[in-house]
Amino acid sequence: MINKSRPILSLRLILLLGTTLVVVLLQTLALLPNVTTPLERIEYSARDMLTRLRGKQETSNNVVIVAIDDFSFNWTGSQWPWPRSYLAAIVEQINQGGGRVVGLDIFLFEPDPEDGNDEALAAALENAPAAVSVEQISNERVDGFAVSALSRPLPVYLEALDGIGVTAFARDEDAVVRGVRAYETYRQKDYFHWAFEAARLYLKTDSPTKTADGKILFNGQVVPTSRGQILINFAGPAKSFPTYSAADVHDGVVLEENPDAFREKIVLIGATTVTLQDVYPTPFSAQVPMPGVEIVANAIETLVSGTYLREAPPWLEILVTLLAAPLAFIIVSRSKQPSLTLTLLAAAMLGYAVFVFVSFLRFRYLLPFISPQLTLFLGVVLPTLEQAVSQELEKRRVRNLFSRFISPEMVDQMMSARDLSALNKRADLSVLFSDIRGFTTLSEKLTPEEVVALLNPYLEAMSKEIYKHGGTVDKYEGDAIIAFFGEPIPFKDHAARSLRAALDMRKALDKLKKQWAAEGRPTQIEMGIGINSGEVFVGLLGSEQRINYTVIGDNANLASRLQDLTKTYAWPILISESVYQQVKEEFDAEFADAVTVKGKTKPVNVYKVIGRKGAPETERIQGWKK
């Protein structure tokens, strides 16, 4: 037999390496500007999950919010924009309450319709220990050209403010805000986010600077950035910071109830009502948007406390993904059972998930989650699936192969106990040769169609009896049948099984002869059977194109010689000494002769089988007429 082993290991490596290559390629593509991959989107969701699992954190109580909310609109009855004199009164309340930094998240680019209102607000801001507001860089396309513009507060406010900065959120591809842009560039000058200005004024430190290699230095630290944005360490969902309604602040209600509400704090004034459309989804509140002013509050809290989120650099993300590949290979190669493979996979994925969460919880370090997990999962599942499919295909191939030789029931038993590698061996079994007496002479009198119509039912009936007793049909040679008992399913009583099959084959032939007689077909048919037991080689022999499960050896040849001797002794079933010694307790047999057959130098004892012990006379075998 030609046994060509399949390159399972190579195929598993190809699947693993292919999976790793695809994942790393997607990671690399995600580094390109304006390119978003599916993995990147899922990674965002995974990071949001880490944030939610960590839960809400206590704020430092350094930042409070004065909310331009629905209550204030209903209370004042004014439309937006409010008169700046009203905002001036709010700022004066904050000043009276001892606010340290006033942050006005309101555009002051256009003058107030009422004379004196801008001056009133500017005076209130100037009276504050420190005041900061926003500027804006807009980018538009006019007649196909990119046009940038810088909008700044009115001069009266520029004189009163201690700091201004751009206001720009970094909305990721899934529209969730996870950070603020550290700076924007206008006419080759960098303008930092106004959260830096609020934090600078509160900490009384220098303004942020950008080094030649693009790093941002602030308050003696390097501020980690990701694609130009500062990742915000959100304290929690909306309303995690102390928030007071603008109307209550204006009317003095807040200071009356809590005189220390603003003392030594950064007080941000901004819109929280959905009506002004300054709300955004965040990791904590993808379904319930967070006001922009509170996002800035979270950014300021991050800058003041220095609790930055640090993202793993691209090279580390790719390295972790690459390390997942050999781990997947180890799991696949070391575990042989699918259940163990899945258990190890689950343990590895859970272990890495815990490691990522602990890194985030303890060190605020964001390791890649989805890419390594996907590489590990697919690196184990795909080879395991390939192995399962290959095994199933191999089982079907073996089943189809052996269904030609043995009964389907025997195939099922064999499939549960054996594989192809164990089929080629030397084994002790019984070999049965049968042949129709005078078939050649009979076939000369029949047409080819009549021969087929006679032979096919005969072979089918005989094979059925062989299968019934656990035998394997080796092959058909014209009208001759070669079968053996004891493999691929071993039986200790293989000799008795072969003889039981031989007796039932004769009964089946008698039924066929009666059927043929009724159909007017020839019935002058007799069958000779020779059986021998002994050691032979049994296995798959042939080429890649044609293969056969067969037996070869001297003991197989002896069974053929015994079948030939049925003509000489005119007896339907002859067995050898080795068979007789195994069946003499169950069957009656008589010594026929000691014959030196072809291929033997010593005579072999030949026995005529008469029938089962105690069988009625009608079932006992009679010799043929010579």
- Predicted confidence (pLDDT) per residue in 80-91, tens digit: 899 999 999 999
For residues 126 and 92, give the distance between their C-alpha atoms in angstroms, rounded to a whole number. Answer: 10
One domain for residues 603 and 485: yes
Question: pLDDT at residue 583 above 90?
Answer: yes
Q: Lowest-confidence range among 27-36, 407-416, 425-434?
A: 407-416
Residue 416 binned pLDDT confidence (cut-offs 50, 70, 90): low
Q: Are residues 111 and 95 in the same domain?
A: yes
**Nearest one of 340, 351, 339 to 376, comparing CA atoms:** 351
Q: How far apart are CA 430 and CA 581, in angstroms?
A: 13
pLDDT at 18 (0 to 100): 83
* Whether residue 388 has pLDDT greater than 60: yes
For residues 250 and 333, membership in a common domain is answered with: no
pLDDT of residue 598: 78
How large a percentage of the chain has pLDDT more than 90? Answer: 58
Residues 457-496 as b or e (16 or more Cβ within 10 Å = b): ebbebbbebbbbbbbbbbeeeebbbbbbbbbbbebebbbb
Query: CB within 8 A of 216, min separation 6: which ones?
Result: 182, 183, 208, 209, 210, 222, 223, 225
CA atoms within 13 A on the CB side of 33: 2
587 pLDDT tier (thresholds 50, 70, 90) = very high
Which of 397, 426, 450 is at the close of a domain? 397
- Residue 404: its pLDDT value, please? 61
Calculate mean pLDDT across residues 382-389. Answer: 73
- DSSP code at position 193: B
Could you tell me if 528 and 480 are in contact, meaning their C-beta atoms sit under 8 angstroms apart? no
Q: Tell me which of 276, 311, 346 is where a domain ends.
A: 311
In the chain, the amino acid numbered 405 is: F
Q: What is the pLDDT of residues 176-219, one digit of tens each?
A: 999 999 999 998 899 999 999 999 999 999 999 998 888 899 99
Using 50, 70 and 90 to split pLDDT, how confident is the model at 444?
Answer: confident
Q: Residue 522 is encoded by which pair of tokens?
A: 């020839």
Query: Which of 397, 418, 439 is a domain's end point?
Result: 397
Confirm whether 468 is domain-assigned.
Answer: yes
**What's the pLDDT score for residue 104?**
96
Is 215 in the same domain as 284? yes
**Confidence at residue 618, expressed as pLDDT on a 0 to 100 scale:** 83
- Residue 40 placed within a domain: no
Query: What is residue 446's DSSP assignment?
Result: S
Does residue 254 share a domain with residue 322?
no
pLDDT in tens, 290-322: 999 999 999 999 999 999 999 999 999 999 999
Residue 8 has pLDDT above 70, yes or no: no
152 with 246, same domain?
yes
The arithmetic mean of pLDDT across residues 27-32, rounded, is 80
* One domain for residues 183 and 222: yes
Report the pLDDT averaged over residues 11-22: 79
Domain residues for 446? 406-619
Report how far residue 427's alpha carbon sits from residue 537's, in angstroms, rounded to the nearest whole number: 6
pLDDT of residue 411 exceeding 70, the answer is no
Q: Is residue 579 part of a domain?
A: yes
**pLDDT given for residue 396 in this prediction:** 75
Q: Are residues 433 and 374 in the same domain?
A: no
Contacts of 26 (CB under 8 A, 6+ apart): 37, 38, 39, 40, 371
What is the average pLDDT across 344-370?
94
Bridge partner residues of 151 (DSSP): 136
Centroid of chain to Cα 158:
58
Domain-located, residue 49: no
Residue 472 has pLDDT above 60, yes or no: yes
Question: Residue 592 belongs to what H/E stretch?
Answer: strand 587-595
Name which of 7-16, 40-49, 409-418 the model is least confident about. Answer: 409-418
**Buried/exposed code over 3-27 (b: 16+ C-beta within 10 A; e: otherwise):** eeeeeeeeebbebbeebbeebbebb
Q: Are residues 119 and 175 in the same domain?
A: yes
One domain for residues 325 and 280: no
Element (H, E) at 509: helix 494-519
What's the domain count of the chain? 3
Give the Cα separation of 592 and 571 in Å (integer): 10
220 found inside a domain: yes
Global confidence as pTM: 0.67
CB 75 within 8 A of CB 247: yes
pLDDT given for residue 524 in this prediction: 78
